[in-house]
Structure 1
């Protein structure tokens, strides 16, 4: 689909999102036949989720437990888009994500995936405009939904159905650190690993695969790079932090599968992809 056509199709979603949230087909079958519901894929992260034909819904239908939304602050609204040319006033953070997630939680009795309260759904919010001012507006927009979101309050973390993690422009960090109460957390980088910043601020460590590893899935992974990867994961997990890499190979084939296999073996928490069906099939095959 051409970008202009895709954007036009996406703008029709606003009315649908305002109503009830459709339960995926696999969940409906489980309800009718009382068969076990397939578990959410807790390691599956939808990169640039909003570029799919049905933002959020496509990821949920493929059982993803993490999605990414890029936001721009425009006249007090948080608009979701990858580039400024794609900005559309109907495509807000509320219409594409906050309202449908709230409806999903209400429909499924307190969890995006009913029965899996121990694994909050992750909403990764990538700030594309100036970080401090955009985060201040994001905090204001999250407050009406605060019971849905994992919250940091006066030194303690209260887990809920959804955890928001703020990425993108790094100027958001200082105002977040200063808050006594916040409804979002900060996406760290490898440079934050092992610093004094606690998991109550930085629960997620993300970085660019290509800037840290030369191996792209051809042939065996070099032993030194495998050791480095596993060391990163071990260090993060010891501090209660999760690990994600972006810019991993994402074209179907042996190279992508090899990289995904090494990420799984190392214990990386989120596998990043634009190919929802491809990662779903890969994770299901490995679970078997």
Structure 2
């Protein structure tokens, strides 16, 4: 009995030393959220949504198709897989994050943006999407009779956008992703909360050398117009380089579009020493 007691004391003492030395694995702290970080085609990453969240991104983009009454995430139809539903890859994990984050995705009380790009028929896909989004009322911002009820996740519809259908809804769980020509639109910001467009359509600068004064002014003017109407602004197909990110950040672009999660995170956290 004395030997057994002595062995027990040694085990307990050894465990205490391990704990005090901090050698047992500890949960890593969550990444600080990055307000301007947007994960373009997020579902191409090894862990859709989760990789972006681990890098502190506050906005992600998912392309969807309506297939056999299911909303499947993919860029092309031939990539469709029944297990890769919008719910499984994005909505359900976001719900868990919101529950764990005291009502917000990053536990900071600020909104998270889910950009959903409809790749096929606008109206039937959106009708199916509305039914799905309605299953997450505690998490997704909703507009009722023209009044916004903000929640943890703001959903924005891009790609094939059923504008008239969405504008006519009395209860709406998503906003419309506008385009450059909508910068002067009088549409309320809760209906069109974001302006997005292809960078090369309006700017020739590709990150090499200095951006011209004329193009810099055009960019700043677009950002200011969007902000004056309560909208965010984003450009897609921008070069994933530090000079471009720096120009976009300085101009006040709200969502810097990237496929390079590591690179943009490092830049936005000020860890990039040079170009």
Normalised TM-score (structure 1): 0.83
Q: Aligned runs of 1:18-57 on 2, under 5 Å?
A: 28-30=27-29, 38-57=31-50
Instruction: Give the superposition deviation at 1:168.
Output: 0.5
Distance 1:137 1:263 in 2: 35
* Structure with higher helix content: 1
Picking from 192, 195, 198, the partner of 2:188 is 198
- Alignment deviations for residues 37-82 of structure 1 (CA, whole Å, 9 cap, x no partner): 6520010000000010000100000010011000000111000001
Instruction: Give the superposition deviation at 1:196.
Output: 1.8
Picking from 169, 182, 188, the partner of 2:178 is 188
Is 1:67 the counterpart of 2:68 in the alignment?
A: no
Aligned to 1:257: 242
Q: Aligned runs of 1:140-155 on 2, under 5 Å?
A: 140-155=131-146
Distance 1:150 1:287 in 2: 35
Q: Segments of 4+ in structure 1 off by > 4 A?
A: none
8 A contact 2:223–2:233 mirrored in 1: yes
Over alpha carbons, which structure has the higher Rg? Answer: 2
RMSD: 1.6
Q: What's the secondary structure of 2:64's corresponding residue?
A: strand
Structure 1, unmatched stretches of 5+, are 1-26, 31-36, 251-255
Aligned to 2:263: 278
Aligned to 1:220: 210
Structure 2, unmatched stretches of 5+, are 1-25
Distance 2:39 2:83 in 1: 22
Count of residues in correspondence between the two structures: 248
Normalised TM-score (structure 2): 0.87
Picking from 91, 100, 104, the partner of 2:93 is 100
Aligned to 1:23: none
Aligned to 1:129: 120
